[in-house]
Chain A
Amino acid sequence: MKIKRPGQAQKMQPPMTPMIDCVFNLLIFFILTPAFSLSEGYLTTNLPKESGPVAGREQKLVQRIKIELYNVGRSGEFEDGAKNEFVSIVFNETQNLGANFDALRAALDEKRGQGLAANTPVLISPTMGCLHKWVVRAFDAAVSARFTDIQFAVPYQ
Chain B
Amino acid sequence: MKIAKPKGLGTVSVNMTPMIDMVFNLLIFFILTSQFAQLETEEVVLPLSTTATTKDYTEFRNVVINIVNKDGAGEIIVFRRPFTPQELTEHLVELNSKVSEEGRQMNVILRADADVPYEDVARVMLAAGKAEIRGWWITTEIEKRDDARLGGR
Contacts and interface: CB of A to CB of B under 8 A. Distances in A.
A124 B48 CA distance: 17
Contact of B119 (A39, A49, A51, A155): A155
Given A37-B37, A132-B117, A42 B135 contact: no
A20 interface: yes
Contact of A44 (B31, B129, B137, B150): B137
Contacts of A133: 47-48, 114-115
B151 to A, nearest CB: 7
A110 interface: no
> Which of A34, A133, A143 has the most chain B CB atoms inside 10 A of its CB?
A133
Interface string A122-155: 0000101111111111011001100000001011
Contact of A43 (B33, B128, B140): B140
A93 to B, nearest CB: 19
Interface residues of A, number: 47
A26 B54 contact: no
A44 B24 CA distance: 39
Interface in B106-144: 109, 112-122, 125-126, 128-130, 133-142
A135 B125 CA distance: 13
B46 A40 contact: yes
A2 B79 CA distance: 70
B30 A27 contact: yes
Given A23-B27, A135-B118, A41 B49 contact: yes
Given A20-B20, A30-B34, A155-B118, A140 B50 contact: yes
Contact of B33 (A34, A126, A134): A34
Nearest to A154: B122
A47 B128 contact: yes
A81 interface: yes
Nearest to B32: A30
Interface string B33-50: 111110000000011111
